[in-house]
Structure 1
Amino acid sequence: MSWNIGRVSSLQFNLLNRSFVSSATKALATAGEELSTGFKSDIYRSLGASAATLTSLRASFENTEAYMTANKTLDGKLEAMLTSVDAARTSADSVLQTAIVNSSRPTSGVSELRNEARAALESIIATLNISYNGDYLFSGVNSDQEPLTRWSDVNEATGTSPSQVLADIVGSGPASAGEAEDMLAQIDAVFASTSGETAQSFEGTFYRGAPALAKDGAPAPRVTARIGEGQALDYGVQANDQGIRDVIKGLAMLASVDVGAIEDEGAYAIWMGAASAALSNGVEGMLEISAGIGFNQQVAENAQTRLTDLALVQKTQISDYESVDPYEASTRVKNLEYQLDASYSVTAKLSQLSLLNYL
């Protein structure tokens, strides 16, 4: 009978042991990293075919985050718009109250009505010329343009100012009921939505934003925001909307004429009645605008809530793919530490052996 005894040289053993120590040390470092971070060190390699699913999930999550960021900006814009419209309406309502008191005949406050209207007009124009992140909020899709021309400033496009447009019509004011009616007809034409962009028109000299009507007469496109996948919100309020237009019309009538100097009772009544009506319609219209903005805020808030919930679900799904089980990672670390300890122990014992131990 013969025996075959396999032998492994000490050199070969040392080389094998060194290779094992190297790979085990690397594996221990990886396991330690995963244990400390809670994430797989090489996510896509560990997932294999499921990596495509993770890629899709991440793309969806980034899309959701983009909508959430955009909606935060939209919320800021809507809040700024609401604050501006409410402030403008308050200024207009203050002048309206004075105008109503003086509607049938002039009282002691009529001497200040022109200055009050002029101050309110300047304040409202400044308020509605607000910008947010570089966009003028009341210019519609032409958000790079300041929407309203200041009362005495010349509009470079038409070469005239709003105050001059009214002055060309009213001069020193109506001297009779007939003159008052004629002047009002001309002013109505200036502030009509179909007046075009001529020098003697609201959208030519007073307003510089996006027009109310397209060339074919249909309503022009409004500012729109995408607040979610497949969900858009038309939220644009423009300074040429009817409510704002009526307020500016009423204030312009009172700012361009010293109504206390109108001697003809018929002319006075017609002028003050038309100015008060324009202001009243404008204040009511701006209240409707505020309500519309508030509704849009609620829609945007609901969309943001849905996105927040969706983002939480998506993050949980992504975590399921990318995260490691802390107990499993801890077990791997301990096993690798035991294996390395054993390897180091064997190596230490081998290093102490010599031929003298057998002699």
Structure 2
Amino acid sequence: MVLGISSFSSFQFNLFNRQNVQRTTLELQRVSEEVSTGKKADIYADLGPRAASVMKLHGREANTQTFMTSNDVLASKLDAMLASVDAARTQVQSVLESALVNATRNGNGAEVLQMQARAALESLVSTMNTSYNGENLFSGLESNKTSLTRWPETSADTGRSPQSVVEEIFGAGPTDPASAQAIADQLETVFNSQDADASRNFQGTFYQGSPERDASGAETKQISAWVNTGQEVVYGVRANDQSFRDAYKGLAMLAVTDVSQMDEAAYSTWMSEVVDSLSASQEGMLDISARIGFNQQIVEKTQTQLTDLSLVQRTQISNYESVDPYEAITRMNSLETQLQASYQVSSRLSSLSILNYLR
């Protein structure tokens, strides 16, 4: 009778046990990470072909977060713009009220209109030169430039100040209704940037931002922003918009002279032009405020949609990447028990020796 004896050395057994301990330890570390983070340790290996879907979801979520961040900035800019326009309208309103009281004849208070108009001009220019994060809000695409030039300051572009331009056109002042209308018409040409002397035009001397029209006469672009995929909002407001030009013109017509000393025959015509300009500016700024408010609603509504979309996407990603905590803890306990058993076997084997049997 032949007996087959298969041998398995203690070295081989120890090596096998060591490898088993190593595998179990690595698996335990992996499961421990999943328990602590709540996510699969090796997401793409676990998901296999479904990993492509997760990558797409991550890309969409990153895009959504980018829109949400930029929309937060845009919302803050719109808030600042609306506050500035409303402040400018309030400044013009106070002068308009005083002008209306003295519109037809030189009554009580006309002597302070010049000082009041100059103060309002300073406030108007300061308000229109509001910046946000270093970006001038009312300079259009050329947001690195200051929007309006202060009444007595010299423009770096033309070497002229708004005050000097208006004083040059006003001259000694009107002497009758016809001359008052002629001076007002000339100022209108200046504020429309159509004066033959380019250094006197609103664009350049009064305003330094992006022009209303390009060299070919076509309207230039306003500032816009993408608030969502395929959704663009044109929100730009420039200090050369008609309402702000009307405000600057009306205030300048009062700031250039003490109307209480003006020729009586020309007074009514001059003040009529002032009131018309300031009234038009009020209406225009109300319209601008309404447009800004409408854009605020668009941004707010879009943010709500993006927030909801982000929640859905993050939930889907979590469904792919998250682990069942109860299942993970069960696996971790099982691996700990297995590892303890392997350590106990190794400890017993290491204590075995043939000398113990030869005693």
TM more than 0.5: yes
What is the rounded CA distance, in whole Å, between the counterparts of 1:317 and 1:191 in structure 2? Answer: 58
Letter in 1 for 2:176: S
Residues 194 and 201 in structure 2, CA contact (< 8 A), matched pair in contact too = no
Of residues 116-125 and 328-337 in structure 1, the stretch that sits farther from structure 2 once superposed is 328-337
Aligned to 2:225: 225
What is the rounded CA distance, in whole Å, between the counterparts of 2:296 and 2:324 in structure 1? Answer: 42
Equivalent residue of 1:232, what SS? Answer: strand
> What's the CA shift string for 1:259-299, capped at 9, x where partnerless?
000132x3000000100110011011101111110000000
Q: CA deviation at 1:195?
A: 5.4
Q: How does 1:120-269 map to 2 (within 5 A)?
A: 120-192=120-192, 198-264=198-264, 266-269=265-268
Q: 1:127 to 1:321 in 2, by over 3 A?
A: same
Equivalent residue of 2:240, what SS? Answer: coil
Q: CA deviation at 1:47?
A: 2.5
What is the rounded CA distance, in whole Å, between the counterparts of 2:290 and 2:221 in structure 1? Answer: 21
Q: CA deviation at 1:59?
A: 1.4
Aligned to 2:106: 106
Q: 1:230 to 1:194 in 2, by over 3 A?
A: farther
Query: Where do 5+ consecutive residues of structure 1 fail to align?
Result: none
Letter in 1 for 2:223: V
Q: CA deviation at 1:197?
A: 8.9
Letter in 2 for 1:322: E
> What's the CA shift string for 1:122-172, capped at 9, x where partnerless?
101001101111110000111111110111111111110001110001123
What is the rounded CA distance, in whole Å, between the counterparts of 1:59 and 1:152 in structure 2? Answer: 54
What is the rounded CA distance, in whole Å, between the counterparts of 1:327 and 1:275 in structure 2? Answer: 79
Query: Where do 5+ consecutive residues of structure 2 fail to align?
Result: none
Aligned to 1:6: 6
What is the rounded CA distance, in whole Å, between the counterparts of 2:172 and 2:117 in structure 1? Answer: 17
Q: 1:197 to 1:290 in 2, by over 3 A?
A: farther
What is the rounded CA distance, in whole Å, between the counterparts of 1:172 and 1:111 in structure 2? Answer: 18
What is the rounded CA distance, in whole Å, between the counterparts of 1:207 and 1:233 in structure 2? Answer: 25
Residues 180 and 270 in structure 2, CA contact (< 8 A), matched pair in contact too = yes
Equivalent residue of 1:143, what SS? Answer: coil
What is the rounded CA distance, in whole Å, between the counterparts of 2:129 and 2:157 in structure 1? Answer: 18
Q: CA deviation at 1:193?
A: 5.8
Q: Give the number of equivalent residue pairs.
A: 358
Q: How does 1:208-357 map to 2 (within 5 A)?
A: 208-264=208-264, 266-355=265-354, 356-357=356-357
Letter in 1 for 2:56: S
What is the rounded CA distance, in whole Å, between the counterparts of 2:207 and 2:195 in structure 1? Answer: 12
Q: CA deviation at 1:347?
A: 1.9
Q: CA deviation at 1:46?
A: 2.7
- Identity of matched residues, %: 49
Residues 147 and 209 in structure 2, CA contact (< 8 A), matched pair in contact too = yes
> What's the CA shift string for 1:291-319, capped at 9, x where partnerless?
11000000011111111111111111222
Of residues 286-295 and 53-62 in structure 1, the stretch that sits farther from structure 2 once superposed is 53-62
Instruction: Indicate the RMSD between aligned Cα atoms, in angstroms.
Output: 1.6
What is the rounded CA distance, in whole Å, between the counterparts of 1:143 and 1:41 in structure 2? Answer: 48
Q: TM-score, normalised by structure 1?
A: 0.96
Equivalent residue of 1:233, what SS? Answer: strand
Letter in 2 for 1:48: G
Letter in 1 for 2:33: E
Aligned to 1:28: 28
Q: 1:129 to 1:104 in 2, by over 3 A?
A: same
Aligned to 1:90: 90
Equivalent residue of 1:108, what SS? Answer: coil
Equivalent residue of 2:172, what SS? Answer: coil
Residues 152 and 161 in structure 1, CA contact (< 8 A), matched pair in contact too = yes
Of residues 11-20 and 36-45 in structure 1, the stretch that sits farther from structure 2 once superposed is 36-45
Q: TM-score, normalised by structure 2?
A: 0.96
